[in-house]
Structure 1
Amino acid sequence: MHETARPVVRVIRSDEWREHKALRLAALKDPVAPLAYAETYETAAAQPDAFYQARTAGAAEGGTAVRQFVAEVPGTHEVWAGSATVLMEEPGETDFLGRAIERRQGQIVGVFVRPEYRGTGLVEELFEAAVAWAYDRGAERVRLYVHERNERAIRAYRRLGFAPSGVRVPKGVDDMELEFVLARA
């Protein structure tokens, strides 16, 4: 881990699109990126700055349907140790698979912690902020999807209290994404 102070988890600000882009590109270079993300590094790197500006503004303070939490390393505004984003899903809407959403829930996406910060408790802090935000907006539960072979992520999500719901979504020819849920206590 860096010799600097412990990262601080906070909500992204709308002017931080450069930092968001840098962290997203770092995430897509991770060895498990093909299992963890639908987007490739090449696709993300080719996006114009306007794409990242719009994406960051949508996830910044003040939004009601999406919120991105970042872990900023104090004293190094340009360095983020990790991130997690929550999408609020409403009954009557359809999810990214075209299935009807039956309850108000949050879906956590885009989870990434830089390798040098893994095992430090940072993912727990990011999830604590993300889950609290979803529950403060009336979510009955929080869910996420994880590739069946992404063992590191599965271990982390189980440690955080998430459990498989039994929903399995095909990803490609021979792979599956598993839905994990955290029921509201």
Structure 2
Amino acid sequence: MSSYVIRSVRADEWPAAKVLRLDALRDPVAHLAFLETYEEAAAKPDSFWKERVAGSAEGAEGAQQIIAEGPDGRWVGTLTVLVEEPGTTDWAGFAVERKQTHLVGVFVRPEERGNGLTEVLFDAALEWSWERGAERVRLIVHEENGRAQRFYRKVGFVPSGVIVPLGDAGDAGERELEFVLDRVCD
């Protein structure tokens, strides 16, 4: 892992962040991992990408995009950490009861998987979360994304029992499951 650099993205790196996101949306399981399609993301103007990256860049307090940079400088993995404050409502309409962070946009290039890189990205996200006083970290995973669920369990996340339906409210189709990791105080 010493040949990788794990760091927060800088606001001026929006073109690289855009490329990595579009690559993630081309992944064969993207339909299970992301709530947008490649076509939707590719159609967005550069101003969208500039604003998106600036809001989660180094120094931002409400969100942080963490990247893994390979030895050749190519971005090979990413995840974003969103801060959720108590008394607010999350993106799915659920009340936020305590200070927590929400991991989204997890992606590691296929050729980089299985070497511990995802664990290192998660360690960085957890460290960032705990430094900001989060009581727990959560993520949402598609019920059919077994590979991701196995990884989340491996690094200590457990299902909370919260189920997020996808699609129309009356649609009894696809669902996502919340996984959580509570902060352990020494």
Please tell me the TM-score bracket, short chain as reference.
over 0.9
Q: How high is the TM-score relative to the length of structure 1?
A: 0.94
Residue 68 of structure 1: aligned partner? 65
Query: Which of 120, 144, 153 matches 1:149?
Result: 144
What aligned pairs does 1:101-180 form with structure 2 within 5 A after superposition? 101-172=96-167, 173=171, 174-180=173-179
Distance (Å, rounded) in 1 between the aligned partners of 2:60 and 2:14: 16
TM-score, length of structure 2 as denominator length: 0.94
Give CA-to-partner distance per residue, 1:79-120, whole Å, 9 cap, x none. 211001000000111100122110000000000000000001
Q: Distance in 2 between matches of 1:142 and 1:7?
A: 24
> 1:117, 1:58 → 2: CA distance?
27
Cα offset, 1:28, TM superposition = 0.2
Superposed CA RMSD: 1.0
Which residue among 5, 8, 14 is the counterpart of 2:11?
14
1:176 deviates by 1.1
Q: Paired residue for 1:46, among 12, 35, 43?
A: 43
Amino acid at match of 2:82: L
Alpha-carbon distance between aligned partners in 2 of 1:146 and 1:164, rounded to the nearest angstrom = 10
Aligned length: 179
For each residue in 1:121-173, what CA deviation from the matched residue of structure 2 results, as whole angstroms up to 9, or x when unmatched?
Answer: 01100000011101110000000000010011011101110000011111133
Once residues 181 and 168 of structure 1 are traced to their aligned partners in structure 2, the CA distance between those partners, rounded to angstroms, is 12
Instruction: State the identity %.
Output: 59
Unpaired runs of at least 5, structure 2? none
Structure 1 residue runs of 4 or more that deviate by more than 6 Å after TM superposition: none
Q: Secondary structure at the match of 2:16?
A: helix
Aligned letter for 1:145? I
